[in-house]
Amino acid sequence: TPGGAMFARAASTFARSGARAPLPGGSARGALSPLTAPWARGFASQVTFVKKIYEDGSTCQKCDFVWKQIEKDGLQERIDRIVVADERDMSSEGVVLAKKHNVQKAPFFVVTGDVAAPAEEKIFEVYFKLKKEVFAKETGENEKNEEIIRGMMRQVF
């Protein structure tokens, strides 16, 4: 149909322009284009970063690396909450979230749904996937490889 073709052209132009569409309800988190990921439309009302503190009180190096990458990417304002999974306190919020979602490694992200689906949560264990699917930003191969290597190094040590 002529209208359908016009919509397809407009949608394609909109996606290439990098424009940002507001989420339903006019949410301020409207940095996602509804064309980016099928599930992302109206989904990301809250992003929680879960980082780990080890039994000896030291911080997780990979968690620190990922947070520095978030800052480098200018996305820290898009993280609504930072939660700690403290191995010294098995009732800490981060440990509870890890158990709830059966997550074995840190850091991870919990992306919570909007008002229409507040109980819907999606877990991201890899920052570059969150960056692409939720924040609609691409990640270079070097960044992906470094995150993967840091994760493997933590398993070895």
Q: What is the pTM of this model?
A: 0.62
Domain ranges in the chain are 40-155
List, for residues 39-61, the tens digit of each pLDDT value: 443 456 799 999 999 999 999 99
For residue 149, the model assigns a pLDDT of: 60
Q: End-to-end CA distance of the chain, in Å?
A: 60
> In the predicted model, what is the mean pLDDT of residues 82-98?
97
Q: What's the CATH fold of domain 40-155?
A: Glutaredoxin (3.40.30)
Predicted confidence band of residue 64 (pLDDT cuts 50, 70, 90)? very high
70 by DSSP, 3-state: which? helix
**How many whole angstroms separate alpha carbon 15 and alpha carbon 36?**
8
Predicted confidence band of residue 22 (pLDDT cuts 50, 70, 90)? very low
**Is the distance from CB of 109 to CB of 102 less than 8 angstroms?**
no
pLDDT mean across residues, the chain = 73
